[in-house]
Chain A
Amino acid sequence: MSATDWNDRICTLGPFEPAPGDGFIVCRCVEITQGDVRRAVHDGMFTLHEVRRLLRCGMGLCQGQICGRLVRGIVAKELGVSPTALEEVTARAPMRPVEMRVFGSEEAGA
């Protein structure tokens, strides 16, 4: 039996069925629950990029440092693949939040 080709979005996971733990908040910055992530996958978001773009989990203040592994695990489990089989997501500058007046300054040592 060959693995499902999740690139072909005609594949379906069937209707979303609620599960224990769906109420757990996995992304604290944006307040996204396990159920939100599972529902997104059932809605055809088969990549971490699409889940993040839909829910913004991992794009808040901590930039996914807390929820990144959790979300990856949930998406992988729904798709029936290894978490390492999912793509890397892009880390974005700045590495920690920086005030506009600091980021916009060109003065050395400011």
Chain B
Amino acid sequence: MNNTADVIIIGAGVIGSATAYYLTRKGHSVIVLEKSPFLGDGGSSRNGGGVRQSGRDPRELPLAMYGVKHLWPGLSEELGMDVEYCQSGNLRLGKTEEHLAILRGLTDRAAACGLGVSMIDAAQARTICPYLSEEVIGASWCPTDGHANPMLVTLAYYRKARANGARFITGQRVQAIQKVRGQARRVVCGDETFEGDTIVLAAGYGSRAIAAGLGIDLPMNTLLMEVLVTEEQPPMFSQMLGTAMADFYGHQSKHGSFVFGGSSGFEAHNRDDGRPVNHSITAPCICRGVMGYFPALAGTKIVRTWAGWLDEMADHIPAIGPVAEVPGLLVGCGFSGHGFGIAPAVGTVLADLAAGDTPPLEVSAFRYDRFKAKL
């Protein structure tokens, strides 16, 4: 079997799979190496499915807005699979004046970047979503936000890239990237070696150890987040929801289940058994958060809960782009819990960079070496 391709991608999550797809669309050969036996087994299948522009770091907004404008609307058609993209807006809810002050700050910063997002009062919020608690006194509203099914998006990119000739190999743990004549070229996995003109490192938190082998540190930690899924309900509301205090976030999926994510507040001190395991205190805490804003859901049954790790970068935005010390290496990792919504845009940018083309967006704000000591 030929172990050489134009581009080797490390990580078959939504970022790696999207990059692989956009590269095959340009006619490049691609090999994707995934350490898990399963595709998209990290954050890509363990996230709330938000396709949000509001509430983002201003540095991330151009990627989010580009994706919502140019990539998400046609994605199902392009990939030949319904990825359940629903553009019904994002409501971020507040119950106190302090909450509204937080929402106003987020809204002003995003509006200054050109995003159509505004503050609305309780009556307007209830017109958009009639099930809100009486305690809600206001919200921020971004009508062009939405949600999609992250598992389907990841697998749809995989399926289409594979149909275009990309070679995906699961259960293939990368040990090292090696340089040949000063250029990143060889990817070593046990007794197998792969070679590419460009290497894309998109392995979530696992990227840190692989980059360390080249003397590059990507300062990130893992952070466990947990999600619960309800039984199917008749369609109630289609918006993406969040709160000023981040008590919970979520949406109702196409088939009727609500998917709500949240935290207990003890995430930084969770016991780590090497697997992303739910903690007994978290899902009940999310339930209390949800019921505080949607009392009508108190009788809705939870059918499953799950947990996943974020790859939390020191400043909460990813590292994207070329590595100056290692020509031929591109990174795309550290998405810090909000990578799904920008994945099509990031995949487009990484594919352009890997192919030597000019990407539609400039990504220097995401340089891997932006981290400086505080003094």
Contacts and interface: CB of A to CB of B under 8 A. Distances in A.
A69 interface: no
A9 B170 contact: yes
Interface in A41-55: 43-45, 47, 49-50, 53-54
A10 to B, nearest CB: 5
B278 A93 contact: yes
B300 A100 contact: yes
A97 B302 CA distance: 5
Contact of B302 (A49, A54, A98): A98
B152 A104 contact: no
B305 A10 contact: no
Interface in B23-62: 37-41, 45
Interface in B136-188: 151-152, 155, 158-159, 162, 167-172
Contact of A53 (B155, B167, B288, B304): B155
B212 interface: no
Contacts of B216: none
Given A9-B169, A104-B284, A44 B159 contact: yes
A50 B45 CA distance: 10
Contacts of A94: 302-305
The binding surface of chain B is classed by DSSP as mixed
Nearest to A91: B304
Contact of A97 (B159, B162, B167, B301): B301
The binding surface of chain A is classed by DSSP as loop
A63 B304 CA distance: 8
B268 interface: no
Nearest to A56: B255
Contacts of B302: 94, 97-100, 103
B167 A7 contact: no
Interface residues of A, number: 32
A56 to B, nearest CB: 7
A97 B303 contact: yes
A9 B287 contact: no
Contact of B306 (A50, A54, A92): A92
B301 A99 contact: yes
Interface string A70-110: 00000000000000000100101110011111011110000
Nearest to B306: A92
Given A7-B169, A53-B40, A92-B304, A99 B298 contact: yes
Contacts of A50: 38-39, 155
Given A50-B39, A90-B306, 4 more contacts: A53-B152, A93-B283, A98-B301, A104-B285
Interface of A: 7-10, 30, 43-45, 47, 49-50, 53-54, 56, 59-61, 63, 87, 90, 92-94, 97-101, 103-106
